[in-house]
Amino acid sequence: MMDHGGRVEEEEEGMLTCFVFEETGGKNEGITSHQERREICLNGCGRPTNVCLCSELPSEPLLTSTQILILHHPHELRHKLATVPVLSKCLRNCQTIVGRRLRLGSSPLLDSLYRASVDNPSRPRRAIYLFPGTDSSPSVELNDWVSLNSSKEDGISDLVLIVFDGTWKHAKEMVSASLPFLSMFATQVSLNYDTGVEGGTIFDSDLVLRKEPFHGCMSTMEAVARSLRVLEPRGVEIEQRLISVLRAMVKFQAGYLKPLKPRPKLAKKGKEVDKNKHL
């Protein structure tokens, strides 16, 4: 969220305004060749070789009964700190769709859920989408949703977890645009969050890559890991494995990020005049 999880950059993409990313060393270390800066681990993680994660990835993608489908915003394709490419190499049942909304024709899997819901509206829902709730679109806390559905005779097998990957602004737009389609067959769920508490940064957490808008928001990779902990029989083990990869990724990136000096706030002319009057 998102990564839901969501992410902002100054309320939109403020995570990027807080940090400077340097692919090579400092400015005084000289200019490296384009080939050296762009050398990629092609047969493994797909990341630059100086931040290769191959040694941290599972030897085989982790198998889950939950199918994960991620709507990946096009802008995230060029983002160096995106966790979706790494996550897709860690999980076997993980599908990524690049786009701005989900609709009929986006995915054969979702199309089948949509048609099944149209044919039989009373059929138990087998899809959930992860996004913090609002007054107009409330969400169910994931643990509560699992407790309610696991008590039913047929349990929660063959579940589909839908996640939106983009900045906080983009994620809200993606969910809103997808809602006419999603609302037919999927239930909105969320992890614990608090909009009244400021989110963390890479400098106060070993799991945060970009500044989060409020407490409870997290990268897509962490959000999926936390969700699978609740949804999967081996959830704790799967979560720990994914979090260890994310922690290694954050550790690598921390060496290339520098906090920017905050911009000084300019006093308004009116306030300055009032101040002078009292002198």
Alpha helices of 91-167 — where are they, by DSSP H? Answer: 108-119, 142-150
Closest CA to 250 of 212, 207, 199: 207
Parse the chain into domains and list their residue ranges: 14-25+37-262
Question: How sure is the predictor about 212, in pLDDT bands with cuts at 50, 70 and 90?
Answer: low
CA distance 207 to 161: 22
How far is it, in rounded angstroms, from Cα 170 to Cα 117?
A: 28
Q: Specify the pTM.
A: 0.72
Q: Using one digit for the tens of pLDDT, what is the confidence trace for 3-50?
A: 454 333 333 333 322 222 223 334 443 434 444 455 877 777 777 777
Tokens for 124?
């138990």
What pLDDT, in 10s, does the model give residues 215-237? 446 788 889 999 999 999 999 99
